[in-house]
């Protein structure tokens, strides 16, 4: 499924998930395995050594879990594969990072706490001549202008009712499905993992808040030579912790339409139980109203994440939710993205006059 056209030189990556080799905490790892799997040579977790990525993460097949970097022959990159709340590296990782640096491996991290700012790691990196790439580091300083937005570039944002439901994965899968149909679609990465997969983007949750809307608008303006932008969502505007990020994203992105992503069976906000996640209906209403403060936008399809359920259970949920909301519903992994892409193409015909003409006459 690695359909990205962005040229990223092929690396030999060890993904560090020490102590957290499970699908949700290690979501960066699972996405690298899914979309850059040809570059992943091993996953590092001392307690799980000997198992495989497929067993523990559900992706990555036979990619081995190792407990010693010496086992990853020829590896040139250590990539931090977890995204803990608050974005700090566990203290017990220091010796692993120092070992990787001593072996001449580049360090790639999406943590909020920049590893390059750690004096000990910086000193070691300097000594061994290796780079520490903190993906979230940025110096965004532009405010939004609402000027120069290309009218016939369709913008679609993935949104959700909680964190870690599959907004990035849905955006990637939709983009790849559109490319398979021959469309000129671009995945616009707004988070560290998406950037690691795509090779470009802006880590918006690490942008100084005054410049977040502007950073997103700049991403739109810089990519609008494509016909369609599928923009990676972040958190949700109803989230007690991260509504700031999600709100600036939706106003900076000015989406014509949105794809709502949710995880089947999730009732409470991740890490904030017993706080309930809002219903799909309430999420749609909140987003359509809030996005509408910038320009009219509506939810055109729903992506469900049914990874914890059987095929039959997922199919029943799919039909039930589609009936309830009057929208196409699909799990991008289980059902593919055809229904979602069809909904996006219908939206294009409605909101972009040239496309409507082309559809009517072509």
Report the residue number, 55 or 142, with the smaller CB distance to a copy of itself.
142
Locate 164 and state its tokens: 């870690």
Strand order across the 13-16 sheet: 65-66, 40-44, 13-16, 77-80, 106-109, 132-134
Q: According to the binding rule CB under 8 A, does residue 213 interact with a copy of itself?
A: yes
Residues in the interface with a copy of itself (CB under 8 A) total 43
**Sign of the C-alpha dihedral computed for residues 72, 76, 81 and 87 taken in this order:** positive
Residue given tokens 């000193």 in the structure block: 123
Pick the binder of a copy of itself from 37, 67, 87, 116 (CB under 8 A).
87
Q: How far is CA 70 from the centre of its chain?
A: 31
Q: According to the binding rule CB under 8 A, does residue 212 interact with a copy of itself?
A: yes
Report the residue number, 112 or 167, with the smaller CB distance to a copy of itself.
112
Q: According to the binding rule CB under 8 A, does residue 284 interact with a copy of itself?
A: no
Q: According to the binding rule CB under 8 A, does residue 293 interact with a copy of itself?
A: yes
Report the residue number, 29 or 249, with the smaller CB distance to a copy of itself.
249
- Strand 185-188 to 228-231 pairing: parallel
What phi and psi values does residue 269 have, to the nearest 5 degrees? -65, 130
- Piece in contact with a copy of itself (CB under 8 A), picked from 47-55, 120-128, 136-144, 164-172: 136-144
Pick the binder of a copy of itself from 18, 45, 134, 205 (CB under 8 A).
205
Minimum CB–partner distance for residue 247 and a copy of itself (Å): 3
**Contacts of 296 by beta carbon, 8 Å cutoff, 6+ apart:** none
Q: According to the binding rule CB under 8 A, does residue 238 interact with a copy of itself?
A: yes
Pick the binder of a copy of itself from 128, 272, 315, 317 (CB under 8 A).
272
Residue given tokens 């993904």 in the structure block: 15
Task: Say whether 232 sits in a helix, a strand or coil.
Answer: coil
Query: Across the strands, what pairs with 155?
Result: 229
Q: Which residues bind a copy of itself (CB under 8 A)?
A: 85-88, 112-113, 141-146, 204-210, 212-214, 237-238, 240-245, 247-249, 251-252, 272, 275, 278, 286, 289-290, 293-294
């Amino acid at each position: 499924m690695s359909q990205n056209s962005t040229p990223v030189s092929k690396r030999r990556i060890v993904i560090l998930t020490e102590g957290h080799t499970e699908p949700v905490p290690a979501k960066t790892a699972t996405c690298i395995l899914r979309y850059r799997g040809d570059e992943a040579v091993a996953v590092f977790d001392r307690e799980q050594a000997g198992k495989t990525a497929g067993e523990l993460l559900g992706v990555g097949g036979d990619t081995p879990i190792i407990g010693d970097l010496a086992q990853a022959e020829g590896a040139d990159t250590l990539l931090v594969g977890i995204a803990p709340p608050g974005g700090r590296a566990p203290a017990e990782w220091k010796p692993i990072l120092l070992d990787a640096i001593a072996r001449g491996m580049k360090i790639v991290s999406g943590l909020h706490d920049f590893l390059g700012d750690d004096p000990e790691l910086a000193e070691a990196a300097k000594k061994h001549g290796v780079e520490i790439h903190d993906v979230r580091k940025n110096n965004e300083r532009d405010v939004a202008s609402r000027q120069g937005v290309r009218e016939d570039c369709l913008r679609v944002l993935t949104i959700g009712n909680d964190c870690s439901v599959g907004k990035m994965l849905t955006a990637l899968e939709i983009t790849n499905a559109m490319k398979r149909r021959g469309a000129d679609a671009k995945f616009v990465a707004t988070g560290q993992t998406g950037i690691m997969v795509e090779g470009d983007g802006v880590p918006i949750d690490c942008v100084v808040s005054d410049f977040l809307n502007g950073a997103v608008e700049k991403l739109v303006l810089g990519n609008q030579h494509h016909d369609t932008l599928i923009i990676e969502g972040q958190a949700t505007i109803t989230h007690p912790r991260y509504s700031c990020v999600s709100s600036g994203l939706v106003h900076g992105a000015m989406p014509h339409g949105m794809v709502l992503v949710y995880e089947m069976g999730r009732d409470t906000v991740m890490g904030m139980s017993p706080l309930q996640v809002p219903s799909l209906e309430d999420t749609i209403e909140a987003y359509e109203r809030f996005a509408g403060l910038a320009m009219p936008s509506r939810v055109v399809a729903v992506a469900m994440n049914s990874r914890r359920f059987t095929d039959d259970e997922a199919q029943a949920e799919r039909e039930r939710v589609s009936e309830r909301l009057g929208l196409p519903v699909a799990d991008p992994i289980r059902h593919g993205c055809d229904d979602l892409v069809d909904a996006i193409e219908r939206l294009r015909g409605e909101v972009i006059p040239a496309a409507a003409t082309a559809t009517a006459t072509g």
